């Protein structure tokens, strides 16, 4: 049996954080949701396959989190949920996705389809 897919959801909006957690867990993912100010150990950061950085996280903090996650876990896929206004580039080198439940689920599913395809060879 394969390991469950682990997703870290980072949001400074409690409502968004909890609704994303529910949405993703109902779709079968193992998810942990935290505010952006939560300290994250190296070992903990290494345990996730995907990190979602919410549009509620300030741009400077989102960039710092992206850098820290990439340094501690080079294999992690980082998805940065775009703010309502079309500000982009908040998470350098991360995949930016449109906000909304369907966009989120589509992006997460695509990440794992691509990873499954790479592991087949």
Q: What is the per-residue pLDDT across 49-60, written as a single tens digit (0 to 9) for each?
A: 999 998 889 989
- Listed residue (23, 24, 63, 65) closest to 45, CA to CA: 65
What pTM, to 2 d.p., does this model score?
Answer: 0.77
pLDDT band at 12 (very low <50, low <70, confident <90, very high): very high
Where along the chain do its domains lie?
6-120
pLDDT digits (tens, 9 = 90+) for 84-109: 555 555 566 566 776 677 777 887 88
Burial label, 35 (beta-carbon count in 10 A; 0-12, 13-18, 19+): middle
CATH number 3.40.50.2300 given to 6-120: yes
């Amino acid at each position: 049996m394969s390991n469950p897919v682990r997703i870290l959801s980072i949001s400074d909006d409690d409502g968004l954080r909890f609704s994303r957690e529910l949405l993703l867990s109902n779709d079968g993912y193992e998810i942990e949701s935290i505010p952006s100010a939560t300290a994250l150990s190296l070992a903990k950061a290494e345990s996730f396959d995907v990190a979602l950085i919410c549009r509620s996280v300030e741009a400077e903090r989102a960039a710092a989190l992206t850098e820290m996650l990439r340094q501690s876990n080079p294999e992690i896929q980082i998805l940065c949920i775009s703010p309502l206004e079309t500000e982009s580039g908040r998470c350098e080198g991360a995949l930016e996705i449109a906000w909304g439940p369907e966009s989120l689920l589509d992006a997460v599913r695509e990440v794992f389809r691509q990873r499954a395809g790479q592991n087949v060879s």
